[in-house]
């Protein structure tokens, strides 16, 4: 039977249509909420080769996944990533190939990504103040990211969305300014509630936490928001349109608005672990499945392992909203594939 005939449905009846695929846990920034200052990276020998990454993506698409997001760590630090995109861009049945990047190396890659078939980009941007941007990312240069955004705008992506972690006392006074920046350029912007992944030093998650309702109220003090149509295979973002402008503002609320009931996604880490739920530790080793028998049966083994992993998808995460300041999942976001 054609593998496509049986789409991926988890035990709770949710179709899985969306894969977030990490190509590296390394990064050229060190955002305070995402990783420690001296985070150890996975040895290169344990990272999936680009061949293996392509095989994993292909197997998911054969099982009905329509949207793949390439992420990391920072995907643009992985050598050969544009070639991987070209390959994935040609996979029949893959309707949406998208990338999440910190933008630091985007100026040199944006046109090639677009030519490879990447239609939409997410770019993380937490501040428009250079000194503050450096503090949040520990090492980053804002000017490079802004240049990357401008080059991406000229490269003809269908949509570009900025992603911002709203943090009390760190960048919450810039919420309106960030929306204005997006509105003036015809970009979308999403505000994300911070999640407790990995033990970070020098950053108090509990103190910085801001619920989406408060962030939205800040945006609405300056702009009128109207409910937006959801996109196909959309993520958990609750999206609004800025009245009179070509900009959507989204709110991703893993704490204040649990969206597990409509979860349509899974993640694969850079070393090939299928994580059925972001907020749990359990994983299925797809790399082991790839190499567990004769090469000619590798795709079938991969598909079986993916089905096993989806069978283990829990109904909901177990993040405790009363313990926002404590790490609740051992992995850093950079190692999870954000």
Q: Of 253, 209, 123, 66, whose CA–CA distance to 57 is shortest?
A: 66
Show contacts with ligand SAM in window 157-186 (CB under 6 A). Answer: 163, 165
Q: Does residue 235 touch ligand SAM according to CB under 6 A?
A: no
Out of 24, 100, 127, 284, the residue judged to bind ligand SAM by CB under 6 A: 100
Q: Does residue 196 touch ligand SF4 according to CB under 6 A?
A: no
Q: Does residue 212 touch ligand SAM according to CB under 6 A?
A: no
- Burial group, residue 201, by CB count within 10 angstroms (0-12, 13-18, 19+): exposed
Q: Does residue 284 touch ligand SAM according to CB under 6 A?
A: no
Q: Does residue 102 touch ligand SAM according to CB under 6 A?
A: yes
- Burial group, residue 1, by CB count within 10 angstroms (0-12, 13-18, 19+): exposed
Question: What is the layout of strands, in order, in the sheet containing 225-227?
Answer: 225-227, 238-242, 248-252, 188-192, 159-165, 120-124, 96-101, 67-71, 18-22, 265-268, 273-275, 284-285
Q: Of 199, 192, 194, whose CA–CA distance to 164 is shortest?
A: 192
Q: Does residue 25 touch ligand SAM according to CB under 6 A?
A: no
Q: Of 210, 203, 312, 202, whose CA–CA distance to 256 is shortest?
A: 210
Q: Of 237, 318, 288, 309, whose CA–CA distance to 65 is shortest?
A: 309
Q: Please tell me the count of residues contacting ligand SF4 according to CB under 6 A.
A: 13
- Which of the ranges 9-17, 67-75, 265-273, 320-328 carries the binding residues for ligand SAM, by CB under 6 A? 67-75
Q: Which is nearer to ligand SF4, 29 or 219 (CB)?
A: 29
- Which of the ranges 72-80, 141-149, 185-193, 256-264 carries the binding residues for ligand SF4, by CB under 6 A? 72-80
C-alpha 92/C-alpha 282 separation (Å) is 30
Q: Does residue 333 touch ligand SAM according to CB under 6 A?
A: yes
Q: Which is nearer to ligand SF4, 72 or 250 (CB)?
A: 72
Compute φ and ψ for 329, nearest 5 degrees. Answer: -130, 135
Q: Does residue 34 touch ligand SF4 according to CB under 6 A?
A: yes
Q: Does residue 34 touch ligand SAM according to CB under 6 A?
A: yes
C-alpha 112/C-alpha 85 separation (Å) is 9
Out of 19, 21, 29, 55, the residue judged to bind ligand SF4 by CB under 6 A: 29
Out of 31, 116, 178, 219, the residue judged to bind ligand SF4 by CB under 6 A: 31
Q: Of 234, 195, 196, 191, whose CA–CA distance to 214 is shortest?
A: 191
Q: Of 277, 260, 261, whose CA–CA distance to 311 is shortest?
A: 277
Q: Does residue 328 touch ligand SAM according to CB under 6 A?
A: no
Q: Which is nearer to ligand SAM, 168 or 307 (CB)?
A: 168
Q: Does residue 27 touch ligand SF4 according to CB under 6 A?
A: yes
Selection from ligand SF4, ligand SAM, none that 30 binds (CB < 5 to 8 A by kind) is: ligand SF4
Parallel/antiparallel/unpaired status of strands 188-192 and 96-101: unpaired
Q: Does residue 96 touch ligand SAM according to CB under 6 A?
A: no
Q: Which positions ≥6 away from 127 have C-beta within 8 Å?
A: 133, 136, 142, 171, 174
Q: Which is nearer to ligand SAM, 209 or 240 (CB)?
A: 209
C-alpha 270/C-alpha 337 separation (Å) is 8
- Which of the ranges 1-9, 22-30, 80-88, 321-329 carries the binding residues for ligand SF4, by CB under 6 A? 22-30
Q: Does residue 334 touch ligand SF4 according to CB under 6 A?
A: yes
The residue ranges that bind ligand SAM (CB under 6 A) are 27, 33-34, 71-72, 74, 100-102, 124, 163, 165, 192, 194-195, 197, 333-334, 338
The residue ranges that bind ligand SF4 (CB under 6 A) are 27, 29-31, 34-35, 72-74, 102, 124, 333-334
């Amino acid at each position: 039977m054609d593998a496509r005939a049986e789409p991926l449905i988890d035990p709770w009846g949710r179709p899985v249509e969306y894969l977030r695929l990490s190509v590296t846990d390394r990064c050229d920034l060190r955002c305070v909420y995402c990783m420690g200052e001296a985070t150890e990276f996975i040895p290169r020998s344990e990272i999936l080769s680009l061949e293996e990454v392509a095989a994993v993506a292909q197997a998911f698409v054969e099982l009905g996944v329509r949207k793949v997001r390439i992420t990391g760590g920072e995907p643009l630090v992985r050598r050969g990533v544009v070639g991987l995109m070209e390959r994935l861009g040609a996979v029949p049945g893959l309707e949406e190939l998208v990338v999440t990047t910190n933008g630091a190396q985007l100026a040199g890659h944006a046109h090639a990504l677009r030519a490879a078939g990447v239609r939409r980009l997410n770019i993380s941007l937490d501040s428009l103040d250079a000194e503050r941007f450096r503090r949040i990312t520990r090492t980053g240069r804002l000017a490079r990211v802004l240049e990357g955004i401008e080059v991406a705008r000229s490269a003809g992506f269908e949509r570009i969305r900025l992603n911002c972690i709203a943090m009390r006392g760190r960048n919450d006074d810039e919420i309106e300014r960030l929306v204005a920046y997006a509105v003036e350029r015809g970009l979308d912007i999403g505000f994300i509630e911070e999640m407790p992944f990995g033990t970070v030093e020098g950053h108090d998650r509990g103190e910085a936490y801001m619920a989406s309702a408060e962030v939205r109220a800040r945006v609405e003090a300056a702009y009128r928001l109207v409910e937006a149509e959801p996109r196909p295979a959309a993520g958990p973002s609750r999206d609004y349109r800025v009245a009179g402008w070509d900009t959507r503002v989204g709110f991703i609320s893993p704490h204040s608005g649990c969206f597990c009931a409509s979860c349509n996604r899974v993640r694969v880490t850079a070393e090939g672990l299928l994580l059925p739920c972001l907020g749990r530790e359990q994983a299925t080793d797809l790399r082991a499945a790839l190499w567990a028998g004769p090469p000619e049966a590798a795709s079938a083994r991969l598909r079986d392992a993916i089905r096993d992993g989806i069978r283990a998808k829990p109904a909901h995460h177990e993040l405790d909203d009363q313990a926002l300041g404590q790490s609740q999942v051992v992995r850093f976001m950079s190692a999870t594939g954000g």
